[in-house]
């Protein structure tokens, strides 16, 4: 049975450190150590992680790093790499790192090397991308495909959608990729409104080919196409990412145009698989390979780097420190990049679906808070929305600032201002502004003393809000691959520290079960028996004429 970090001496030592940390301000930590940045930052393969604005001392950091051994991180990394069923509640291996593996070393699952299957699907994706981009693959009327619509939900939608937007600067010019996920007909209808059936290709992404939202949207898209072009057109305008070949064939898709993936790939970790086909179509297969290579480089770093130099592990430690010892309940993800606008939403799924759990690997209470509530918005938009709360709202809210040194869309005068805002916000959250500083500033501006006395309380900023800044060289496929794999491995490290299975998601299933029970009642095919009064009242209200 796995052991809990909470019961360890290291955990108790950290609790003592936290008591002392409550009385220490970040501005004092910087004042007492002019070299703080160099002591609390890491650089690897072009990525810079500055965590000097976290409420840490060197002594506390050393204690946190002891969790590497308490949680048996080396052992868990070996189990992950060996293909053991570390997703123990579902009896599955966790091998998404195999999808971007660059070497010749076999990666085993149940004693069999999975890499020949991975390479075969990648080759199928390469051929398809090249055929579509060259115009070799054409629609039923002989016209070239100009629009691709991915129909999926959850990990079959959000990962590739986020990545497609993130890498907008690298898109194939003549092809537009769209994403439909919501069961609300407005999502599909508004997407199709601007498209032509003659030049549109649909990618249906569902491992089982039974997911309710995906299959309803797929059926409606199929009807839209068939009404315009006839049944025979389905084979030239639909492909599938699925393992249910009989379901694919029944839908009318040629099984040769189905791209496989496997049960050792969790949905929120699947963008590297055939689920990433729409991304590969958007950016070209060579760029998709660079995306995989960046992730593989981060895999090698995480698997081999020691605790004190391991970027994903250090990020995990910061979450543990802020959540379990300083009492933070949320974390803000603040990418200063419009291209990364969807990153906070993607990380919500990656982190909260993985570690938002109250039962550990032994079926027991973990004994501490686990995943913080993650939220955020792209800068500088967020500055005009919720930053007021960050600065003066009185809650401890750690923040992750993410920005690139170079712009992906280099319009003159934009990126310098963006960097200035990003770094300034992190500095302001850290340093704050005291009443004495506010008074001196207003006096220097010759503000009357009566006005100073009246306005002073409103202009004080407590500061001491912890943050990290993650600086990328540029937002290209390789560095973006590194970034996403960095957060994936952080999730794994947190799961091991909190003694969680980060790879199941039973909480997602319960609501689906209830929806399947309610659907025949809503459709009038079953009586409304055994319902609570609220649900019964809502259904009755919907049936009013």
- pLDDT computed for residue 545 by the predictor: 67
CATH number of the domain within which 514 lies: 1.10.1390
Q: In what order do the strands lie in the sheet with 373-376?
A: 41-44, 47-50, 467-472, 399-404, 330-335, 373-376
Q: Which residue, of 244, 264, 289, is where some domain finishes?
A: 289
Question: Do both 268 and 146 map to the same domain?
Answer: yes
| Whole-number pLDDT of residue 512 | 85
Query: Is residue 74 domain-resident?
Result: no
Which of these is catalytic: 101, 161, 237, 353? 353
For residues 481-519, one letter each, b for 16 or more C-beta atoms within 10 angstroms of the residue's C-beta and e for the rest, the string is bbbbbbbbbbbbbbbbbbbbbbbbbeeeeeeeeeeeebe
Residues 416 and 514 in one domain: no
Grouping H, G, I as helix, E, B as strand and the rest as coil, residue 272 is: coil
| Cα separation, 64 vs 50, whole angstroms | 17
pLDDT digits over 87-144, tens only?
A: 999 999 999 999 999 989 999 999 999 999 999 999 999 999 999 999 999 999 999 9
Is 441 domain-assigned? no
Boundary-marking domain end, from 233, 259, 289: 289
- pTM of the full structure: 0.96
Where helices occur in 230-336 by DSSP H, the ranges are 234-237, 245-251, 277-283, 285-304, 311-320
In a domain, residue 179? The reply is yes
Domain total for the chain? 3
Residue 479: CB partners within 8 Å, gap ≥ 6? 46, 47, 294, 404, 472, 473
531 lies in which domain range?
506-542
Report yes or no on 84 lying in a domain: no
Return the exposure string of 310-322: e unless at least 16 CB atoms fall within 10 Å of the residue's CB, then b: bbbbbbbbbbbbb
134 with 267, same domain: the answer is yes
Domain harbouring 128, CATH code: 3.40.50.10490
Is residue 512 part of the annotated active site? The answer reads: yes
The verdict on 238 and 146 lying in the same domain is: yes
Give the chain's radius of gyration (CA, Å): 26
Q: Do 115 and 239 reside in the same domain of the chain?
A: yes
Domain membership flag for residue 445: no
Model pLDDT, residue 544: 83
Using an 8 Å Cβ cutoff, are 88 and 113 in contact? Answer: no
In terms of domains, do 248 and 149 share one? yes
CB atoms within 10 A of CB 438: 18
Residues 245 and 275 occupy one common structural domain? yes
In a domain, 447, yes or no: no
- Same-domain pairing of 156 and 49: no
Per-residue tokens: 210: 């039974």
Q: Is residue 339 part of a domain?
A: yes
Which of 174, 250, 417, 512 is catalytic? The answer is 512
pLDDT of residue 2: 65
Say if strands 108-109 and 112-113 run parallel, antiparallel, or are unpaired.
antiparallel
Rounded to whole angstroms, the Cα distance separating 299 from 301 reads 5
Shared-domain flag, residues 473 and 520: no
Q: Could you tell me if residue 412 is inside a domain?
A: yes
Spans in the chain with pLDDT lower than 70: 1-2, 545
Answer yes or no: do 492 and 511 share one domain: no
Question: Any catalytic annotation for residue 136?
Answer: no
384 has catalytic annotation = yes
User: What per-residue confidence (pLDDT) applies to 508?
Assistant: 86
- Say whether both 270 and 360 belong to one domain: no
Q: For 246-262, how does the pLDDT look when each residue is reduced to its tens digit (9 = 90+)? A: 999 999 999 999 999 99
Do 366 and 498 touch, CB atoms closer than 8 A?
A: yes
Q: How many Cβ atoms are within 10 Å of 249's Cβ, its own excluded? A: 14
Q: Give the residue from 160, 145, 3 showing the smallest Cα distance to 76.
A: 3
253 and 315 part of one domain:
no
The residue annotated as part of the active site, out of 9, 384, 414, 417, is 384
Q: Cis omega before residue 201 (within 30°)?
A: no
């Amino acid at each position: 049975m796995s052991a809990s970090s909470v019961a360890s001496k290291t955990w108790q030592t950290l609790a003592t450190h936290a008591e002392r940390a409550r009385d220490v301000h970040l501005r004092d930590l910087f004042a007492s150590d002019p070299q703080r940045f160099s002591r609390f930052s890491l650089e690897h393969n072009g990525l810079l992680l500055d965590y000097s604005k976290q409420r840490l001392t060197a002594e506390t950091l050393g204690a946190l790093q002891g969790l590497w051994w308490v949680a048996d991180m080396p052992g868990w990394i070996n189990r992950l790499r060996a293909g053991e069923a570390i997703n123990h509640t579902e009896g599955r291996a966790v091998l998404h790192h195999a999808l971007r593996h660059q070497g010749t070393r076999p990666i085993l699952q149940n004693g069999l090397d999975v890499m020949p299957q991975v390479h075969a699907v990648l080759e199928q994706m390469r051929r398809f991308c090249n055929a579509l981009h060259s115009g070799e693959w054409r629609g039923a009327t002989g016209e070239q495909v100009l629009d691709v619509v991915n129909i999926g939900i959850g990990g079959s939608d959000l990962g590739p959608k986020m990545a497609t937007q993130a890498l907008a600067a690298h898109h194939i010019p003549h092809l537009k990729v769209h994403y439909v996920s919501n069961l609300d007909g407005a999502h599909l209808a508004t997407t199709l409104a601007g498209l032509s059936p003659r030049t549109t290709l649909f990618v249906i992404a569902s491992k089982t080919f039974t997911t309710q939202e995906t299959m309803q949207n797929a059926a409606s898209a199929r009807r839209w196409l068939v009404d315009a072009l006839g049944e025979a057109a389905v084979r030239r305008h639909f492909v599938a990412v699925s393992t249910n070949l009989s379901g694919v064939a029944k839908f009318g898709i040629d099984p040769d145009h189905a791209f496989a993936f496997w049960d050792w790939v969790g949905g929120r970790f699947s963008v590297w698989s055939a689920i990433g086909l729409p991304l590969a179509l958007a950016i070209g297969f060579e760029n998709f390979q660079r995306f995989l290579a960046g992730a593989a480089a981060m895999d090698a770093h995480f698997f081999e780097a020691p605790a004190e130099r391991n970027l994903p592990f250090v990020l995990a430690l910061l979450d543990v420190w802020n959540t379990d010892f300083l009492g933070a309940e949320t974390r803000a993800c603040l990418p200063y990049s419009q291209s990364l606008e969807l990153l906070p939403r993607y990380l919500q799924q990656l982190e909260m679906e993985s570690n938002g759990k109250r039962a550990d690997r032994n079926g027991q209470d973990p004994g501490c808070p686990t995943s913080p509530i993650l939220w955020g918005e792209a800068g500088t938009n967020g500055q005009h929305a919720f930053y007021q709360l960050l600065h003066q709202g009185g809650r401890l809210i750690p923040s992750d600032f993410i920005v690139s040194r170079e712009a992906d869309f280099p319009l003159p005068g934009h990126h310098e201002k963006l960097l200035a805002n990003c770094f300034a916000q992190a500095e302001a959250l850290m340093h704050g502004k005291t009443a004495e500083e506010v008074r001196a500033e207003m006096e220097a501006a010759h503000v009357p003393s009566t006005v100073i006395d009246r306005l002073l309380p409103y202009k004080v900023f407590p500061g001491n809000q912890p943050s990290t800044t993650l600086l990328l060289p540029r937002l290209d496929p390789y560095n973006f691959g590194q970034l996403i794999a960095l957060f994936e491995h952080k999730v794994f490290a947190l799961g091991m520290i909190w003694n969680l299975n980060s790879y199941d998601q039973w909480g997602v299933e319960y609501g689906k079960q209830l929806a399947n029970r309610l659907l025949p009642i809503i459709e009038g095919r079953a009586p409304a028996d055994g319902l609570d009064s609220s649900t019964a009242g809502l259904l009755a209200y919907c049936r009013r004429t």
